[in-house]
Structure 1
Amino acid sequence: MPHFHIEYSANLEEVVDMQALCEAIRAAAASIETFPTPGIRVRAIRVDHVAMADGDPKHGFIDLSVRLREGRPEDVKKDAITKIFAALKEAMAPVMETHSVALSAEMRDIDAALSPKFGNVRDHLESSP
């Protein structure tokens, strides 16, 4: 953990490099001590049907949901979401100069007892010198 889910309005598809945005979020998360690198997952899902604000289809959104295993202190989580949201805002700044975009983020804990995990990603990471 953590898992980052980006939902974005389809009208941003042509103006936002979603792979680059995923990488920006991944890199920001990897720089935060409380997030173990092997557990970081960032995914983006396009939302085709959207109604926003005054109904004008020019408006777009990016909603970032962060799920992480419970147990981190509130101040650590607040610091982490602040850094992640700053990375999102920085990545989106050029687009927001010319497009109407709403950004949001939410971090929530996952009950470890109800969220089994298994994987071998750690076995396939390059060793650090």
Structure 2
Amino acid sequence: MPHLVVLYTGNLDAVVDMPALCRELADAMLAVRDEDGKQVFPTGGTRVLAYPAPHFAVSDGGAAGRAAGDGKTGVATDDPGEYGFMYLNLRMGRGRSDATQKRAGSALLASARARLDSAMATRHIGLTVQVDVGPEVFDAKHSTLHPLFNKT
């Protein structure tokens, strides 16, 4: 933990460099500090995983965008005008302050917008960032990654 899962409409692959976005989101997570200036998320535990949806239906399928005639045709697929959508869900363990949780969400939103705003200038794209913290019913970890970063 923390894990950031990015779900997005597959048509965004044509207009967004997803590997670069994943790296930027991970870097944004690693830069988050708490009120004492300590790194919030452990380097070895930070994960960003992105999954395109090859099949999707968003809103009215682009009809309102085409009717608006605003030039945002969304020609990212063979269906001109189809909308795009991206959902970022950060799941973190308990114990961080509300302010730290909001700081993490704001950092992810800023990072995603830095990558998406140019595409959003010409296409209709929805972006949602959600931070979830909850009681774990079961939480077990086994990793050879953490020792790389926990050297004293």
TM-score, with length taken from structure 1: 0.90
Equivalent residue, structure 2, for 1:107:
131
Structure 1 Cα separation of the partners of residues 147 and 91 of structure 2: 23
What amino acid sits opposite 1:79 in the alignment?
R
Q: How many residues align?
A: 128
- Report how far residue 85 of structure 1 moved: 0.9
**Which stretches in structure 2 are left out of the alignment for 5+ residues?**
33-38, 63-78
TM-score, with length taken from structure 2: 0.77
- Report how far residue 122 of structure 1 moved: 2.2
Confirm or deny that 1:38 pairs with 2:44.
Answer: yes
Q: After the TM superposition, which segments of 4 or more aligned residues of structure 1 sit over 6 Å from their partners? A: none
CA RMSD of aligned residues (A): 1.9
Higher fraction of strand: 1
Question: Percent identity, aligned pairs only?
Answer: 30
Is the Cα–Cα contact under 8 Å of residues 44 and 148 in structure 2 kept in the other structure? no
From 115, 119, 130, give the equivalent of 1:95. 119
SS at 1:11 equivalent: helix
Residue correspondence of structure 1 range 110-125 to structure 2 within 5 A? 110-125=134-149
Structure 2 Cα separation of the partners of residues 76 and 30 of structure 1: 13
Residue correspondence of structure 1 range 46-57 to structure 2 within 5 A? 46-56=52-62
Structure 2 Cα separation of the partners of residues 50 and 96 of structure 1: 19
Structure 1 Cα separation of the partners of residues 150 and 9 of structure 2: 35
- Report how far residue 64 of structure 1 moved: 0.2
Residues 110/118 of structure 1: CA separation in 2 closer, same or farther (3 Å cut): farther
What amino acid sits opposite 1:40 in the alignment?
T
Range moving further from structure 2, 117-126 or 21-30 = 117-126
- Report how far residue 125 of structure 1 moved: 4.4
What amino acid sits opposite 1:51 in the alignment?
A
Equivalent residue, structure 2, for 1:86:
110
Is the Cα–Cα contact under 8 Å of residues 91 and 133 in structure 2 kept in the other structure? yes
Is the Cα–Cα contact under 8 Å of residues 7 and 86 in structure 2 kept in the other structure? yes
Structure 2 Cα separation of the partners of residues 30 and 3 of structure 1: 12
Range moving further from structure 2, 62-71 or 119-128 = 119-128
For the pair shown, which has the larger CA radius of gyration, 1 or 2? 2
Structure 2 Cα separation of the partners of residues 76 and 125 of structure 1: 22
